[in-house]
Structure 1
Amino acid sequence: MKTKKIHPDKVNIITLGCSKNMVDSEVLSGQLQANDLNVVHENTAADHNIVVVNTCGFIDKAKEESVNTILEQIELKQQGRLDKVYVTGCLSARYRDELVKEIPEVDDWFNTLELPLLLKRLNADYKADLVGERLLSTPAHYAYLKISEGCNRTCAFCAIPLMRGGHVSKPVEEVVAEAEKLVSMGVKEIMLIAQELTYYGLDIYKKRSLDRLLHALAEVPGLTWIRLHYAYPSRFPLEVLDVMKAHDNICKYLDMPLQHAADPVLKAMRRQITRREMETLIGNIREKIPDICLRTTLIAGFPGETREDVEVLKQFLVDMRFDRVGVFTYSHEEDTAAYALRDDVPAAEKEKRAQEIMEVQQEISYEKNREKIGRTFPVLIDKMEAGRYIGRTSHDSPEVDNEVIISGERPLPVGEFVNVKITGAYDYDLEGEVITADL
């Protein structure tokens, strides 16, 4: 006969992968809270009895991390420290049948679109009216806001459509309502995310409508910064730049993953754009908004990439002088179009090429940072760490971009804005001193 539990259930959510996964975890936690269930993110107190692992299945390293995390939780369950282990997210969506056989100790598996089913297993009801109700895993003053799900693009290297399906936009009214809710919770900055921002609205409004959405979000009282992540370069809607110019609270910041610059590689990647077209686009963007911060990501070691292609990419960085760059090594993913190609660049060579590319960008980043010395910027204070305050300018997104380091000699309000004069520059960080507090 089973005995009744002395303590009520407590659910710990472990999130791996990208910011889209983070939002999914926050929505799950909001639903659990609304059902009066005790829920935490990344609980270090180890006083929970149920774990939900929200996995990433994008590239090999992410898949390995996800599997290792699941196995760690299963070991805790076998030690009697957990009652249940559930798995959701992209890895579960992509490999559920295989994983069920390989890790039978997991209590249940769910894909990225099965939130109601996961809630049912946690003895909770899905509440469709909870727009914007989330338990933030970020600091209280910023949040990620997902404006669509899935992707209709056919990039040869990408498995996202396999895991998250086709593109589905949220209506403008729903996104605005969620933003208003976040602001009411104390959020001052939102990062708009999607697998492909510029496709927004094509499915429900029959035309690209990111500009319409931005206009509406810019009118939300109390929303100080709006930031754009993951814009596809092909057929980029330039009217978005007009909206960016028209509203001070839309950061002059654009994250546009280009992936490469050599035309043979771009064609093999199915990126639907050439190097010349990218250069023209970047020129048009900077002509409209001269002070814009451009961030991009690149892939090193795609099948068939030659040393000449790498040199083309490095020269492209020198010519374009992006503010922020991230580089990933190619991961040969089954069921993608690129999987039919021979993965002919050895792993060590991929890493070598990625390092070469980043060395080019490192010098550019240092030069751009030095140009900021003596200038004053509004800075959002994110945290205090090791006796110093860490903040960001409007040109910097959390976790991935530059930070501004400020002496902790005088108290500063975390989650608020201060004016900071830049006094020092490094490859990827700045130092500064406060001129006035609270803009």
Structure 2
Amino acid sequence: MKIAAVSLGCPKNQVDLEVLLGKMVEENFEISNNPEDADVIIINTCGFIEPAVMEAVETILEFEPYKEKGKKLVVTGCMVERYKDEFEKEFPFVDYYAGVGELKSVLLFLKNGIDTEKEKNLYFAKNRLILNPKSYAYLKVADGCINKCSYCTIPSIRGPQRSRKIEDIVDEAEKLIRSGIKELILISQDTTKYGLDIYKEGKLKELITKLHDIKGDFYIRLLYLNPDGIDEELIDIVLGLDKVIKYFEVPVQHINDRILKLMNRKSDSKKIRSIFSNIRKKSSDAFIRTTFIVGFPSETEEEWSEIKDFLKEYKPDFAGFFPFYRENGVKASLLEPQIGKREKNRRVRELQKIQKKITMEKLKSLKKKEIVCFAEKVNEDFDFILEGRALFQTPDIDGKVYFIDGEARDGVGPYLCKIKRVVYPDLYCKIESKL
């Protein structure tokens, strides 16, 4: 039986699908990149916010015609966990639905024709089938969340935090490195709280150290570092260990204390500012990415302007801005007054304009330096150009690198490169040498 799969949503969702596909390979299923060639199409969905649900709907409808060709459609993931009853009624042509943590049941359904069990088991395969370029792999250290932010649906979808054991994470990391992976990207809903549930204390620093001690040439990147879990010791570990990329992804969501309190965030503006200041004081080379929710209920013009002032003063290297979505089942959706869609989009655009200038200045400042890059994709339209990314770029969110000179066809790298041109948010680089 041939399986084709579509992965929607965040890296954490992707890992779930990779585990399922890895188990399918173990069970002698064949994986195909071509839906036309497959017997079963799996759509792994995100259901975090309204645009993600709409993307899932559009994708399901896109694949509906394949039913007429005798193929099975399976829909899995967060959207199923959140809206299964509604989607079963809306899309009766889907053969099987499986929510978060139930993906193993897909395998049993395809083998037996019935759903024989639905155990909440996130890691049930010896090896994952990595879906992204082989320069990197996501390493999920925990699932679920205990933060209870007032705008967030994740706890209701994925439940409370469930950390994996350190030895299991290290074992998987060793396998990935032996397979040729060059970068391990640690992910969870809140990576700073890793271990609190099973060890009764935070174990992120210990985990980083043990991963760093694995033999081999590779890098470690940390994502989803909530500011309330960042202290000086963690900053020093990230900046001090050779294999750890000097990159801090710190989703602050706002900078006004009243809004942060309404969001039920655990950090106030003083804590957030101290983190940014501390990182900048300790390293001029470190990159900081952050995110903001814009147009939160009752956000005034003055409170929104505090984000503008923060950007101009602390100059995050990368930042994302997302309009508040009024989601069912979250406390923030009940707050008043709600900000209109047009006004939220205006505020987002103005913040993006400010951030674009900051990011451009940072990227242009690197033109005289050698930077480390990975080659990850041949551009099909221009075969002589290879796409990739710099070490300070997180996959899919921080832009790309286009190689316009030099040879990169002997592998993913890493390579030492020189920036020749910056076209926001991308870089055009010359390869100088292979590391």
TM-score class, shorter-chain normalisation, is: over 0.9
Q: Aligned with 1:144: secondary structure?
A: strand
The one-letter amino acid paired with 1:108 is Y
Which amino acid in 2 is paired with 1:230? Answer: Y
1:351 maps onto 2:345 in alignment: yes
Residue among 105, 110, 121 paired with 1:117: 105
Given candidates 260, 277, 286, the residue that maps to 1:283 is 277
Mean CA deviation greater in 341-350 or 393-402: 341-350
Amino acid at match of 2:92: P
Name the structure 2 match of 1:65.
Answer: 55
Report the Cα distance in structure 2 between the residues aligned to 1:257 and 1:268, rounded to whole angstroms: 16
Instruction: Letter of the 2:400 partner, please give it.
Output: E
Query: Residue in 1 aligned with 2:81?
Result: 93
Match of 2:404 in 1: 407
Structure 2, unpaired ranges of 5+: none
8 Å CA contact 2:288–2:316 kept in 1: the answer is yes
Aligned to 2:2: 10
Matched, 1:334 2:328: yes
**Is the CA contact 2:78–2:158 (under 8 Å) kept in the aligned structure 1?**
yes
* Aligned-partner SS, 1:186: coil
4+ residue runs over 4 A deviation: 124-132
Moved more, 116-125 or 339-348: 116-125
Write the distance in 2 (CA, Å) between the matches of 1:128 and 1:76: 29
Amino acid paired to 2:2: K
Q: Tell me by how many angstroms 1:359 deviates.
A: 0.3
Kindly indicate whether the alpha-carbon contact (under 8 Å) linking 1:244 and 1:250 is maintained by their aligned counterparts in 2. yes
Partner of residue 33, structure 1: 25
Q: Which of the numbers 40, 57, 66 marks the counterpart of 1:50?
A: 40
* Distance in 1 between residues matched to 2:256 and 2:345, nearest whole Å: 18
Q: How many residues align?
A: 426
Please say which of residues 166-175 and 304-313 is displaced more in the overlay. 304-313
1:106: Cα distance to partner? 1.7
Residue 209 of structure 1 is matched in structure 2 by 203
Moved more, 327-336 or 127-136: 127-136
- Which is worse superposed, 44-53 or 152-161? 44-53
Among 413, 419, 422, the residue aligned to 2:419: 422
Report the CA distance between 1:431 and its aligned residue.
2.7
- Over the matched positions of the two proteins, sequence identity in percent amounts to 35
State whether residues 419 and 434 of structure 1, in contact with CA within 8 Å, keep that contact through their aligned partners in structure 2. yes
Of the three residues 138, 148, 155, the one matched with 1:154 is: 148
| Contact residue 150 and residue 332 of structure 2 kept, 8 A | yes
- Corresponding residue for 1:305? 299
Shift of 1:129: 8.7
* TM-score (structure 2 length as normaliser): 0.93
Which amino acid in 2 is paired with 1:15? Answer: S
- Structure 1 residues without counterparts, runs of 5 or longer: 1-8
String of CA shifts for 1:367-404, please: whole Å, max 9, x gaps: 11111111112222222322323332221111111333
Match of 1:382 in 2: 376
Cα contact 2:4–2:34 (8 A) shared by 1: no
Q: State the Cα distance separating 1:343 from its structure 2 match.
A: 6.1
Please report how far the alpha carbon of residue 185 of structure 1 lies from its aligned counterpart in structure 2 after TM superposition. 1.7
**Which deviates more, 83-92 or 383-392?**
383-392
Contact 2:386/2:403 (<8 A) preserved: yes
Of 202, 221, 229, the match for 2:223:
229
Contact 1:380 1:417 in 2 (8 A): yes
Partner of 1:23: 15
Cα displacement string for residues 320-351 of structure 1 (whole angstroms, at most 9, x for unaligned residues): 10011111111111111112113621112211
> In the alignment, residue 97 of structure 1 is paired with which amino acid?
D
Distance 1:47 1:131, change over 3 A: closer
**Normalising by structure 1, what TM-score?**
0.92
2: distance between equivalents of 1:264 and 1:105? 47
User: How is 1:179-218 mapped onto 2 (pairs within 5 angstroms)?
Assistant: 179-218=173-212
Amino acid in structure 1 at the alignment position of 2:181: V
Aligned to 1:6: none
Distance in 2 (alpha carbons) for counterparts of 1:357 and 1:200:
32
Shift of the 409–181 alpha-carbon distance from structure 1 to 2, 3 Å rule, reads closer
1:143 and 1:187 in contact (8 A); partners too: yes
Deviation at 1:130, TM superposition (A): 5.9
- Structure-2 residue corresponding to 1:393: 390
Equivalence for 2:93? 105
Match of 1:244 in 2: 238
- The one-letter amino acid paired with 1:156 is S
- Residues 242-267 of structure 1 deviation map (CA, whole Å, 9 limit, x = unaligned): 32233211100111111111222211
User: SS at 2:246's partner residue?
Assistant: strand
What amino acid does structure 2 have at the position aligned with 1:104?
Answer: P
8 Å contact from structure 2 (residues 101, 122) kept in 1: no
Per the alignment, do residues 132 and 349 of structure 1 end up closer, same or farther by CA in structure 2, a change over 3 Å counting?
farther
Distance 1:82 1:254, change over 3 A: farther
* Superposition CA RMSD, Å: 2.0
8 Å Cα contact 2:408-2:431 kept in structure 1: no
Separation in 1, partners of 2:122, 2:197: 21
Relative distance call for 1:405 and 1:181 in structure 2 (3 A) is same
